[in-house]
Amino acid sequence: MDMLKGSLWDKILIFTLPIAASSILQQLFNSADVAVVGHFAGSQALAAVGSNSQVISLIINVFLGLSVGANVVIANLLGEGKTKNIREAVHTAISVSFISGFVLIFVGFVLARPILTLMGTPEDVLESAIFYLRIYFAGMPFIMLYNFGSAILRSKGDTQRPLYALIVAGVLNLVLNLIFVICFKMNVGGVGLATLISNAISSILVLIFLLREKSELRVDLRKLCINRTYLLRMIKIGVPAGLQGMVFNFSNVLIQGAINGFGSSAMAGSAAGQNYEFFTFYVVSAFNQTTVTFTSQNMGARQYDRCKKIFKLCWLYSVSIVAVMLTLFVVFREFFVGLCTVDPLAIEYGCIRILVVETFDCLICNYEIGASAMRAMGHSLLPAVETIFGVCVLRIVWILTVFAHFKKILEPLQSFAVLMAVYPVSWIITGPLVLGTYFVIRKKTFRTL
């Protein structure tokens, strides 16, 4: 795809839709995991699996941020036309993916019990949650390879082959879930093992694509190396983004800890409701990646007017699509939660989460698209700091003050709604803050370059 010439509205959609489809498809399979566990293994097993999502994100976000840095660096080099440098950057990215994957195996195994214990995970769920988390982290080398490999392919406009890899892995994941959980009664362990195997397949397929690539993005395993210059550039862009995600998920881990205090039914219902938040978030995330890649290439080519159009289109598309999706989820919330659990109390909690959180989900487009545009322009630290303040700090304060107060005087379902209100409140504050900074930096950057 030529990102430097021609119309943008169609190219942005062609680039973004496979990314969004990949993430949504992955979430559909994850939802199938939740449904299989919830219906065939019970609410406790569902709570064990669902309570881990924020922990996983908390631990791996810094390394996933590096894959964002790899995407920006390689896309920028493509825009500048530096073929030899691209090869060095590509092999650096793959080397980093292998190293980070093995580091995360150790980190996940060591931190599984302490983190889940600190979160107040109930005793009837704790051991199953630890078991699932350790199985999941055993597959980290595959997860890192898939994410870095996909970032490399996306840097030149190829979003379709990562989708193909995910389709194959997702179908396999669903089939293995049914076999392990229903036939072999493996419950939480079966879900974890199916996820590990499917992640291995998707990463191997992406690696095969790169090994057979005909362009300068081709990977030669004999030439794997760490180029210090490109590693530092990836770190400069990726680490702030990763830290932003890490701190973001730290606040979510605290929220999950508060949810755990309501018991396993609330944990199960929250996990069911959160599934649908992932759908809308992944649409925004897809436009984030589009914003980063298109803006990076055009920044490299010094086409600043196109950079402005890219931001505008990505913001408009993400807001419009998310608005349609959240409307469906809110209106038919009982149906969607009921797909994941048959526990009446869990369904009540899940419906509350969807009603309070999903109704305002469009607001995340403001700070997500704005932050992605700034990263592509080389400003990664400032949006990270603003998001940490607007999201993480505010959420911690909310939990310790507003939620703590109302939990003492309200019924459990009502105080759960107060807890969930922390999400839209933080979005209302963070969005305008990041958007305003983006416009200031854009004006200054394009005037001086």
CB-based contacts of 157, cutoff 8 Å, min separation 6: 1, 2, 3, 15, 293
- Token pair in block for residue 135: 């199985």
Instruction: With CA atoms as reference, report the closest residue to 353 among 265, 260, 272.
Output: 272
**Cα–Cα distance, 211 to 207 (Å, whole number):** 6
**Cα–Cα distance, 352 to 407 (Å, whole number):** 16
Q: What is the pLDDT of residue 410?
A: 92
Residue 328 Cα distances to 322, 331, 333, 355, 359, angstroms: 10, 5, 8, 11, 10
Q: What's the average model confidence in pLDDT over 386-405?
A: 89
Instruction: With CA atoms as reference, report the closest residue to 278 among 266, 286, 290.
Output: 286
Cβ atoms within 10 Å of 318's Cβ, excluding its own:
27
Q: What is the pLDDT of residue 43?
A: 67
Exposed, middle or buried: residue 261 (CB in 10 Å: 0-12, 13-18, 19+)? middle
Q: Which of 31-45, 235-249, 319-333 has the lowest mean pLDDT?
A: 31-45
287 pLDDT more than 90: yes
Cβ atoms within 10 Å of 306's Cβ, excluding its own:
19
pLDDT band with cut points at 50, 70 and 90 for residue 262: very high
Q: Residues 306, 311, 312, 317: is their CA dihedral positive or negative?
A: positive
Secondary structure (3-state) at 183: helix
Q: What's the average model confidence in pLDDT over 236-260?
A: 81
For residue 283, how many C-alpha atoms fall within 13 Å in the half-sphere facing its CB?
21
- Specify whether the CB–CB gap between 61 and 249 falls below 8 A: yes
Residue 221 corresponds to which amino acid?
A: L
- Specify whether the CB–CB gap between 3 and 289 falls below 8 A: no
Q: How many residues does the chain have?
A: 449
Mean pLDDT over the full length of the chain: 87
Q: What's the average model confidence in pLDDT over 36-61?
A: 70
- Token pair in block for residue 272: 């069911």
- Percent of the residues in the chain that have a pLDDT greater than 90, as a whole number: 44
**Cα–Cα distance, 153 to 34 (Å, whole number):** 30
Angle at 176 between CA 173 and CA 177, to 5 degrees: 85
- Token pair in block for residue 94: 């793959």
Annotate 393-431 with DSSP letters as a single string.
IHHHHHIIIIIHHHHHHS-HHHHHHHHHTHHHHHHHHHH
- Specify whether the CB–CB gap between 157 and 78 falls below 8 A: no
Q: What is the pLDDT of residue 98?
A: 93
Question: Using CA atoms in the order 443, 444, 447, 449, what is the torsion angle rounded to 10 degrees?
Answer: -120
Residue 353 Cα distances to 71, 252, 347, 412, angstroms: 34, 14, 10, 13
pLDDT in tens, 175-191: 898 898 888 888 888 88
**Cα–Cα distance, 347 to 355 (Å, whole number):** 12
What's 389's DSSP letter?
A: I
Q: What is the pLDDT of residue 369?
A: 95
